[in-house]
Amino acid sequence: DIQMTQSPSSLSASVGDGVSISCRASQSISNYVHWYQQKPGKAPKLLIYSASTLQSGVPSRFSGSGSGTDFTLAISSLQPEDFATYYCQQSYNTPYTFGLGTTLEIK
Amino acid sequence: QVQLLESGPGLVKPLETLSLTCNVSGDSITNDHYWGWIRQPPGKGLEWIGSFYGTGSAYFNPSLQGRATMSIDKSKNEFSLRLNSVTATDTAVYFCARGPTLQYYYYYYMDVWGKGTAVTVSS
């Protein structure tokens, strides 16, 4: 199975800050990476697919980049509703696997 | 607007079979999309369980060791998951989700999710 390693596991930031979350794959996976946001008690929400394509309806302050083994989710100018847990997921091979998540907390 | 709604028993005894259903509205499960299940143990991350396309065969996470099956009911526009010989490690919130169209199979992302249904395995 392809392992997806996210860092950091948690992150504190303030409203208005910009942050980046990293996701590293255990082998090269081209751009078959997708990012989700999950709030407590809710289902995950798709933010970014194929590494850098913004899902319809997702604010443009979210962006994704990377290829191969290293990927980044960036959020510019954090809003109060952005404090949540973020997961990356690979679809290069089955089983599809997720990172363990990065929890973004308010400082 | 596509909506998915999971339903299930809530509590299942060890070694019994867990059965969950996902009802889909706003899209047909035999149209051009993959559909599948994902679960999340309490306080933990996400695990993909399995997926299918149209009326084709399903494929599953090997971690389930052959315990999972999926079926569809076209008349009700819903699909189901059965997981047999459950143990406490199967305790989780189970989500159903829509995958990509066939053209984008390799970019298997999930763009519409149900709210999830909590399942506890306990005697």
Q: What is the tens place of the pLDDT at every residue in A27-45?
A: 999 999 999 999 999 999 9
Q: What is the tens place of the pLDDT at every residue in A49-71?
A: 999 999 999 999 999 999 999 99
DSSP single-letter state for residue B90: G
Report the distance separating Cα B51 and Cα A23, nearest Å: 24
CB contact under 8 A, A55 and B111: yes
Confidence of residue B57 (pLDDT cuts 50, 70, 90): confident
CB contact under 8 A, A98 and B59: no
Report the distance separating Cα A11 and Cα A14, nearest Å: 10
**SS3 assignment, position B39:** strand
pLDDT at B77 over 90: yes
Q: Are A91 and A71 in contact (CB under 8 A)?
A: no
In chain A, which residues have their Cβ closer than 8 Å to the Cβ of B111? 46, 49, 55
Tell me the nearest-neighbour CA distance from A37 into chain B, angstroms. Answer: 12
Q: In chain A, which residue's Cα lies nearest the Cα of B110? A: A46
Report the distance separating Cα A70 and Cα A85, nearest Å: 19
Contacts with A, B 44-63, CB within 8 Å: 45-48, 59, 61-63
In chain B, which residues have their Cβ closer than 8 Å to the Cβ of A99? 45
Q: Hey, which residues does B40 pair with through a beta bridge?
A: B93
Report the distance separating Cα A34 and Cα A41, nearest Å: 21
Contact residues, chain A to chain B, C-beta under 8 Å: 32, 34, 36, 42-46, 49-50, 55, 87, 89, 91-92, 94-101
Please report, as a single letter, which amino acid is at residue B1: Q
In chain B, which residues have their Cβ closer than 8 Å to the Cβ of A92? 106
Q: Which candidate, B24, B20, B29, places its Cα nearest to that of B93?
A: B20
Nearest to B114 among A32, A43, A87 (CB): A43
What lies within 8 Å, CB to CB, of B63 at 6+ separation is A95, B47
C-alpha A93: how far from its chain's center? 19
Q: What is the tens place of the pLDDT at every residue in B62-74?
A: 999 999 999 999 9
pLDDT at B56: 80
Q: Are A84 and A104 in contact (CB under 8 A)?
A: yes
Pick from B3, B64, B108 the residue to mutate for testing the A interface (most A CBs within 10 Å).
Answer: B108
Burial (CB count within 10 angstroms: exposed 0-12, middle 13-18, buried 19+), residue A37: buried
